[in-house]
Amino acid sequence: MMASSRKLNILGIESSCDETSVAILSDEEVKVNLISSQHFHKAFGGVVPELSSRAHLQIIKPLVDSALQSANLNVNEIDLIAATAGPGLIGALLVGLTFAKGLSYSLNKPFVAVNHIEGHIFSGFLMDKKPEFPMLVLVVSGGHTLLLYVESFTEIFLLGSTVDDAAGEAFDKVSKLLGFGYPGGPQIEASAMKGDENTIKFPVAELKDEYNFSFSGLKTSVLRFVQKNYDDENIPKSDLNNISASFQKALVDALVQKVNLALNNHKVKSLSLVGGVAANQKLGNELKNLANKYKIPCIIPSMSFCGDNAAMIALRGFQLNKSGVIDNLRVKPYSAIPENHFLKLS
Ligand code: KG4
Ligand code: ZN
């Protein structure tokens, strides 16, 4: 633990997928949050792991240098280094993690390995209006869909998760089959805004396991609908917009329904919507309306803190370090959330 009354300069590094990000925080205040997105993956319709690692490797050092410059700091003034250790693409994670560990060793400054999902979970705390515990958190990203009951910075209970595709993954796959590009979320959302969401009723699986989600059936029913009604790649624009809107409605309804159930069963002081899909306005608006009914605030990070970013990693590193965590430099990257990483409500 660092006993100091002066504010700490925290350097955060994120490289779990297709964003290289470097942030500098002064305690909880974000001084700089640089994000370099690997747009070239679009040409492949998804993230190519090997290309991702190489791009991280090229940009990491210049990005750290420009972050220090923007924050007007010398590297020796960094007090704590935090980097994403997983889950994510191993080769991509290795780049940021190894860089951070090397920096920690050479500067002789403490290092904290951060779980990327925990970074998202607490990203609402980057906003001026902070969430209050206990809080309910919906994490919706390209790789994960989790519903969590969070009692404190160290007590995180998993209520449910997706049994197949993640919410963002469903957006990306449907986007691909409708002929939009990658990433799909923003393009489906833009198309949906021009369509009528009540044209087609796409079914969403009702799972017995009350807080779990399933989106692969929804994706298949969109595919079936397209195959049945159109010749390949020959969907009129207005129909495309209606399909996008109807798909988005089905997915958002399924998410909102589970959050409603959880709010019914657990008394919480705030709701937080985080992860890349939290940028979706329909989802955000519906969860804000729902939170209003329960008379609690719904906290959604601003755009640059919804998608992958190092500010949330630095913040989580700071929180962990405050509670005494310092990791040793033997930490290895991991691709999936470790089994039983989150607590279970009995
Ligand atoms: O958290 P994130 O940046 O990366 C992961 O950790 O996965 O999330 C990326 C996901 C992608 O699947 C992308 O399509 C989705 O977030 N996304 C959206 C929107 N913006 C990004 N989904 C729906 N609506 C959006 N506006
Ligand atoms: Zn993420």
pLDDT, residue 252, reads: 98
Judge whether 121 and 274 are in contact, CB under 8 Å.
yes
**184 close to ligand 1 (CB < 6 Angstrom):** yes
Q: Is 84 helix (H, G, I), strand (E, B) or coil?
A: strand
Closest ligand 1 atom, residue 16 Cα = 6
Distance 276 CA to ligand 1 centre (A): 3
Show Cβ contacts of residue 334 under 8 Å, excluding neighbours closer than 6 positions. 85, 86, 87, 90, 93
pLDDT, residue 322, reads: 96
What phi and psi values does residue 7 have, to the nearest 5 degrees? -70, 145
Judge whether 178 and 185 are in contact, CB under 8 Å.
no
How many H helices and E strands in the chain?
10, 10
**301 close to ligand 1 (CB < 6 Angstrom):** no
pLDDT at 231 over 90: no
Mean pLDDT of 224-252: 94
Judge whether 47 and 143 are in contact, CB under 8 Å.
no
**Test site for ligand 1: of 115, 140, 193, 277, most ligand atoms within 8 A of the Cβ:** 277
CA-to-CA distance for 123 and 99, rounded, in angstroms?
A: 23
Nearest CA to ligand 1 atom 3: 307
Token output for 49 = 């792991």
CA-to-CA distance for 116 and 149, rounded, in angstroms?
A: 17
Mean pLDDT of 269-275: 98
pLDDT, residue 213, reads: 96
The DSSP bridge pattern shows strands 80-86 and 19-26 to be unpaired
Distance 231 CA to ligand 2 centre (A): 36
pTM above 0.85, yes or no: yes
| CA-only gyration radius of the chain, Å | 20
Mean pLDDT of 56-78: 98
CA-to-CA distance for 13 and 59, rounded, in angstroms?
A: 12
**186 close to ligand 1 (CB < 6 Angstrom):** yes
pLDDT, residue 254, reads: 97
pLDDT, residue 140, reads: 98
**119 close to ligand 1 (CB < 6 Angstrom):** no
Cβ < 5 A residues, ion ligand 2:
141, 308
**143 close to ligand 1 (CB < 6 Angstrom):** yes
Q: What is the dihedral of CA 181, 185, 187, 191, to 10 degrees?
A: 130
Show Cβ contacts of residue 270 under 8 Å, excluding neighbours closer than 6 positions. 124, 131, 132, 133, 135, 136, 291, 296, 297, 298, 299
pLDDT, residue 1, reads: 53
CA-to-CA distance for 273 and 137, rounded, in angstroms?
A: 6
Q: Which ligand is nearest to the CA of 181?
A: 1
Supply the DSSP string of 12-33, one letter for each residue. Answer: EEE-SSSEEEEEEEETTEEEEE
**18 close to ligand 1 (CB < 6 Angstrom):** no
The per-residue pLDDT of the chain, averaged, comes to 95
